[in-house]
Structure 1
Amino acid sequence: MSDLAPAKLWWTANELADALLPDVPATQQGVERWAKRVNLRANSQVARRRSGRGGGWEYHWTALPLAARKALLIDASVPAQADAVSRGQIWTWFEELPDTVQDKAKHRLTCVQAIEALERGLGRDLAIKEVARLKGVSARTLWNWMGMVEGVRTDDRLPHLAPKHRAVARKVTRAEFDEEFFDWLAADYLRLERPSFSSSYRRAERVARQNSWVTAPERTMRRYLDARISQPGQILARMGLDALKRMYPPQRRDKTALHALEVVNGDFHKFDVFVRWPGIDAPVRPQMVAWQDVYSGRVLSWRLDLTANARAVMLAAGDMIEDWGIPEHILLDNGREFAAKEVTGGSETRNRFKHLEADIPGLFTALGCEIHWATPYAGQSKPIERAFRDMCDAIAKDPRFAGAWTGNKPEAKPENYASKAVPFDDFLRVVSEGIEEHNLRQGRRSEIAWGRSFAEVFAESYETSAIRKATEAQRRFWLMGAKGLRVHKTTAKITFMGNEYWSEWLHGHAGERVIVRFDPADLHGGIHVYGFDNAYLGTAACHLPAGFLSIDAAREHNRARKDWMKAERKALDAHRKLSARELGVDLDAVAPTDAAPDPQAKVVRPMFNAKPRVDATPAPRPEVEAAQATVVADLAARRAPKVADETPKQRFGRALELERAVEAGGIITEAQAHWLRVYQSTPEYRAEHMLWSDFGDAYFG
């Protein structure tokens, strides 16, 4: 054995795997398999049972492959030098180690300190033996630990006592490869098509062979790419801006400085329930517009409708203002129903429509509310979305709606999908109960509620807050529709929806643009006329009734996120040096020019008694051709007629007629039977059949 030896002589399989030594497997299982393959345990000179807790085997360093022994001897030939690495660097490295490794270093330090305390009276040899007995550590190991801190400052011993294989594994070294190879690999991998790293590496290898670039193993390149390009940068390159935006922590807004009815927010919610709406034959999924107090979380008002529309927004807002008062701030969704002129007309911050000087002031603009718009496609910016999520469970899945629940997405349809449609009155009653329960439920955990209900929090603040109440004149804003029109310059009449409205006082405003407010349910009842400054002018009676009777059924956080995303985009552009087109040009250059030759048959089966081919065309036979034409005509007559532009209900009706004909013993053609079998296997047939089962033949109207 050579006089030169590493500081650590005996190694466990786990320590050898973590040391990342040349020609030694990088996993504990791989080391164990290698030891069994070379029969190391049969030689007691190089293998022994481990005496510590957990048992196992230890292997002497001289039993390792030559390359691994050379690596250990190189480390041993360079003694631990405190000056080789700065104190800041070694402590920074130590802080990055896992807690389990740091605990091992702390245990070693206590052993070293115990030896130094005892050696003053016993000498080092006896002190090490005594500490070995007390700590359950071999004397040879303690000697190694003492050597690791030889010449090291007392306050710097802890990082020097950390396991050395960790230090070797964390050396900042880079495998030898050309930067062009890495640039090509990164440009191919960092694409929105999201190729796998393995496929990108194989393509990069092909180009590298063509250009004589030095390459490194795939796992090495993957680790190097992860070290060079941040995870957000990779997400931006492979998944886009929306995915990167989701990685930025959401903004948390404090509600403790608000009071009741200071800020409200509204939105539409489509229920996952089939309902039999009055006057409509087919089941529908109603939509609800709701207004919520942001401070307390209480739902202040709500209305149901078939679609999201401005009329429902106005009515629900009217309920809120009549019952509670006029809010100071309004947080709205960016939908067209909230950006409609009758709701927010005159607001300069609308995103859906252009702001025109001739726009009539909307409801909230006329009431002096400050309007705020939620960030598009960001549900977390609207607190009411949390309430809707609660209602999806507490209301839509109510046992009284069993069989009518549709599922919250197409692939989540229940087994009893569309087997029932809830009557509208029952649906209205259950929704009303659910919203009341939502407001009164105890145990809310917001920073305002502290275990109380939303209703209690709202009532406490409402009683002590200055609330604006609506006047009777303001009440007309939400009970009536609004329209900007022009008074006839000669007759002073106002024409609207086929009706003519006139009063003598209108001659004083002939030719002017005015705002008319009306009851959509009674256009013949007259209109209220306002100036464009919202000054009330008077009432005009319906002079010539005609047309319709009713039209009812007819920023710091964002800046920080943008700066963060911009920085990631710049970092990505610095790493992605090649475009997809340039990658394709390189791949075309390394494409094989000579295609592999087609295989040739080596064994040929002989043909015996082969007769020469005779190209004989049979003579025409008129009687055979006539019989064939008869068969073709008969098949064409029996083929099922092709029906164009059928609705699903009509196709199901045709299938139902064929089924009834078969049940009655009738005869259908083979083509009709084939069509029926195929149609019966489609989802459309099953859905139509469930509706027909509920409503019978009345389903066809």
Structure 2
Amino acid sequence: MTLFLASLAEIAAALEITPRAVRKRAQKQSWACLGETLQGGGRRYNVDELPLSDQEKTRIRAHLLLCVRPGSTVFTPEAAAPEAPAAPPGESRPTDEDREALWNYAAQKSAKNREGAARKAEAVRAVESLMARGTGITAACNEVGAKIGKGGDRVRVWFEKTRGVDPGDWVAILVDARGGNRPKKDPSPEVYDYIKADWLRIERPTFQAVYERAERAAKAHGWELPSLKTIKRKLENEIPHALIVLKRQGEDAYKKCYPAQERDKTVFRALEAVNGDGYTFFKYVRFESGEVCRPTAWVWQDIYSGKILAWRLDVSENKDQIRLSIGDLIEHYGIPSYFLFDSTRAAANKDVTGGVKNRYRFKVMPDEPLGLIPQLGAAVHWATPGHGQAKPVERCFGVGGLGEHIDKHPAFSGRGTQANPIPVEEFEAIMTAEIAAYNARRRRRSKVCNGKSFDEVFAESYAKGPIRKATREQRALWLLAPEPVTANAKDGSIKIMGNRYWCEELTRYKGKKLVARFDPANMHKGAIVYQLDGRRIGEAECILPAGFNDRNAAREVAKQKARRKKALREIEKAEIRINAREAAKCLPQETPPATPPSSKIVEGMFGKKEKSAETDPASAHNFEEIAEAMYLHSLK
């Protein structure tokens, strides 16, 4: 650790005040000095222990570091140890770290202050130039001071501060140290805590109102309260600006305090990654069912180009809308590799994202059926809701996007209220036209478009990249609604909304959990049944109930059973080609061994020997005769 020891003269030179002012200050504040006396009188003081401001101490340390020469007052205990050799005079120089700290201090000053330091450096150079011609230091300082309108003593102070300092550091060492030297009046901790609690809240009260309430509280409790400007300056200097914004303006404003992450879309190609989100329009629409409400559109956008690929309009954001919009996307363009959307209840439904482990929405069950996206072989990525940087599709809803061109379309002027709603057919027609115009608009400024339209950029990349198309079997994944079911434990039939479905393949899955896909608009058409992992079982027909006395229905059921039994008999003939008796003839006849195996080890009998009848007295008596005699005697 380095101790900074300075005399009053050196302190005065560092602070650019007269030695007399420093002596008066030392006497008034009772500065503690070291016991040793310097040559010529005077004492040294430990800079770290003086009652000075941090800026004043920094100025003194910088002055001592940059003015190192024989007889320097910078004292390092390690350097004073007898085993460490002293550096030769004239070779001691401030380190790069010291110079860096000095220039950092100078950078905190205003440009006007640094310009004044540059003028002081020019005056010092002029003094050195006169001294090189033989002029004395006093006369040179007086002459230069007269030219710049300063006293010779002031110029002499500048010259002494730069003595032994590299000329490149003169500007930093001559920066004005004034400012912050006045004693600061700190508030009481109680009133400071009160002001922070009152000012740093989401209601955003003005500081004037907060200070007025603090004055009343300080008067009642006897707290020390400085002026309004002092306390506000203390708050702004000590509390981070980001914390002030967070407490007074909220999370959204706090996020804007830091630069947003810039995402590079060129890592993708067309249709490789899509993102989706829902948007509720402000106009009221009358749907075919007669319901009047503000419609909600689910929109899928290509991340690479920004083109809107597919959309669906409905009364609200729901899982059927999202499932069918995915079908529209795949039917027109193909299967993307990545789907990006937020984990809302509608978007993260099990029909679409079932089996995704990191869903964080609804409970992930071990026997959960796979959703539409996992069955298509695509990955799901979750984004932060309402965060435009994470989902680019949200940007097409704002200013200049769909909300601007559809909600404010001239065809809807004066319409779209609850009393005068827009027919859904007309609204969808306008929406289709405006989305097409949105995709075809040129002069896009993104790095990918570079002046082209979304349509042009998408078409160029789409023509070059590999595209996965859906098969007929995969189309059923989004055209039919999925429903988890459990096969009947007796016959394997399944029930959906009160309707029974059955096929012969279901007899192998009695009592097991399955997934059935059906058309909600035509429940009697049948259902396609899958295992939980997505493997298809078969198409189950709807078993319609019949009247109790309906002979035709009973006759038809009997015929179906007869046909099934006949088909099974045909399968039996094809599969079972020998009966059980013929199978028994294939078994070899086993014969027992002629002689049993002999044992070479005999188990020993250990313990007490049995008593013979001759040696055992009890064996000589017949206990049954004795018992009978006793019974007869009791009868008498």
Partner residue in 2 for 1:484: 484
Describe how 1:495-574 pairs up with structure 2 within 5 A: 495-544=495-544
Is 1:470 the counterpart of 2:480 in the alignment? no
Is 1:219 the counterpart of 2:229 in the alignment? yes
The CA distance in 2 between the partners of 1:430 and 1:149, in whole Å, is 78
The CA distance in 2 between the partners of 1:81 and 1:321, in whole Å, is 71
Partner residue in 1 for 2:615: none
1:209 Cα deviation after fit: 5.3
8 Å Cα contact 2:493/2:503 also seen in 1: yes
Distance 1:115 1:403, change over 3 A: farther
For 1:92, give the aligned amino acid.
N
The CA distance in 2 between the partners of 1:84 and 1:104, in whole Å, is 22
Describe how 1:165-314 pairs up with structure 2 within 5 A: 167-171=177-181, 174-175=184-185, 177-190=187-200, 196-202=206-212, 204-205=214-215, 208=218, 213-238=223-248, 244-280=254-290, 282=292, 284-314=293-323
Is 1:150 the counterpart of 2:159 in the alignment? yes
Partner residue in 1 for 2:410: 399
1:333 Cα deviation after fit: 2.1
1:318 Cα deviation after fit: 0.6
1:545 Cα deviation after fit: 6.8
Is 1:388 the counterpart of 2:388 in the alignment? no
8 Å Cα contact 2:144/2:152 also seen in 1: no
Partner residue in 1 for 2:92: none
For 2:523, give the aligned amino acid.
L
The CA distance in 2 between the partners of 1:79 and 1:506, in whole Å, is 92
For 1:391, give the aligned amino acid.
L
Partner residue in 2 for 1:102: 114
Distance 1:172 1:297, change over 3 A: farther
8 Å Cα contact 1:112/1:145 also seen in 2: no
Distance 1:89 1:347, change over 3 A: closer
The CA distance in 2 between the partners of 1:216 and 1:277, in whole Å, is 66
8 Å Cα contact 1:298/1:439 also seen in 2: yes
Distance 1:437 1:90, change over 3 A: same
For 1:452, give the aligned amino acid.
K
8 Å Cα contact 2:493/2:500 also seen in 1: yes
Distance 1:81 1:494, change over 3 A: closer
Q: Specify every segment of 5 or more residues in structure 2 that has no aligned partner in the other structure, as ranges.
A: 1-14, 18-55, 67-97, 547-636
For 1:83, give the aligned amino acid.
L
Deviations 1:550-576 (A, max 9, x none): xxxxxxxxxxxxxxxxxxxxxxxxxxx
Is 1:323 the counterpart of 2:304 in the alignment? no
The 3-state SS of whatever aligns with 2:506 is: helix
The CA distance in 2 between the partners of 1:108 and 1:488, in whole Å, is 98
8 Å Cα contact 1:275/1:422 also seen in 2: yes
Distance 1:508 1:195, change over 3 A: same
8 Å Cα contact 1:403/1:421 also seen in 2: no
1:326 Cα deviation after fit: 1.5
Distance 1:452 1:243, change over 3 A: closer
Partner residue in 2 for 1:353: 362
The CA distance in 2 between the partners of 1:443 and 1:376, in whole Å, is 29
**Match of residue 83, structure 1, among 58, 64, 84:** 64
Shifted more, 528-537 versus 194-203: the winner is 194-203
Relative to the length of structure 2, the TM-score reads: 0.62
Distance 1:214 1:535, change over 3 A: closer
Distance 1:189 1:94, change over 3 A: same
The CA distance in 1 between the partners of 2:302 and 2:545, in whole Å, is 43
Residue correspondences, number: 454
8 Å Cα contact 1:264/1:292 also seen in 2: yes
8 Å Cα contact 1:444/1:451 also seen in 2: yes
The 3-state SS of whatever aligns with 2:415 is: coil
Deviations 1:55-76 (A, max 9, x none): xxxxxxxxxxxxxxxxxxxx9x
The CA distance in 1 between the partners of 2:131 and 2:252, in whole Å, is 65
8 Å Cα contact 1:403/1:418 also seen in 2: no
RMSD: 3.9
The CA distance in 2 between the partners of 1:456 and 1:541, in whole Å, is 47
The CA distance in 2 between the partners of 1:160 and 1:318, in whole Å, is 73
The CA distance in 1 between the partners of 2:266 and 2:474, in whole Å, is 31
The CA distance in 2 between the partners of 1:359 and 1:81, in whole Å, is 70
The CA distance in 2 between the partners of 1:487 and 1:79, in whole Å, is 88
The 3-state SS of whatever aligns with 2:464 is: coil
Instruction: Select the structure with the greater relative contact order (CA < 8 A; seq sep ≥ 6).
Output: 1
Deviations 1:100-126 (A, max 9, x none): 443454455456646765786797999
8 Å Cα contact 2:386/2:394 also seen in 1: no
Describe how 1:572-587 pairs up with structure 2 within 5 A: none
For 1:295, give the aligned amino acid.
Y
8 Å Cα contact 2:120/2:158 also seen in 1: no
Relative to the length of structure 1, the TM-score reads: 0.57
Q: Specify every segment of 5 or more residues in structure 1 that has no aligned partner in the other structure, as ranges.
A: 1-5, 9-74, 406-416, 547-701
For 1:496, give the aligned amino acid.
I
Distance 1:504 1:398, change over 3 A: same
8 Å Cα contact 2:124/2:159 also seen in 1: no
Shifted more, 171-180 versus 363-372: the winner is 171-180
1:240 Cα deviation after fit: 5.5
Describe how 1:338-349 pairs up with structure 2 within 5 A: 338-349=347-358
The CA distance in 2 between the partners of 1:81 and 1:350, in whole Å, is 59
Deviations 1:179-213 (A, max 9, x none): 45544544554456655444554555555556655
The CA distance in 1 between the partners of 2:404 and 2:156, in whole Å, is 66
8 Å Cα contact 1:482/1:517 also seen in 2: yes
1:385 Cα deviation after fit: 0.3
Partner residue in 2 for 1:459: 459
1:491 Cα deviation after fit: 4.0
Percentage identity across paired residues of the two chains: 36
Deviations 1:461-511 (A, max 9, x none): 223323322111111100111111122233443322232323344333333
The CA distance in 1 between the partners of 2:525 and 2:104, in whole Å, is 83
Partner residue in 2 for 1:572: none
Partner residue in 2 for 1:620: none
Shifted more, 193-202 versus 297-306: the winner is 193-202
Deviations 1:606-628 (A, max 9, x none): xxxxxxxxxxxxxxxxxxxxxxx
For 1:344, give the aligned amino acid.
T
The CA distance in 1 between the partners of 2:243 and 2:396, in whole Å, is 35
For 2:64, give the aligned amino acid.
D
The CA distance in 2 between the partners of 1:421 and 1:122, in whole Å, is 99
The CA distance in 2 between the partners of 1:401 and 1:104, in whole Å, is 66
The CA distance in 2 between the partners of 1:398 and 1:250, in whole Å, is 33
Is 1:335 the counterpart of 2:344 in the alignment? yes
1:364 Cα deviation after fit: 0.5
8 Å Cα contact 1:488/1:510 also seen in 2: yes
Distance 1:444 1:192, change over 3 A: closer
8 Å Cα contact 2:62/2:173 also seen in 1: no
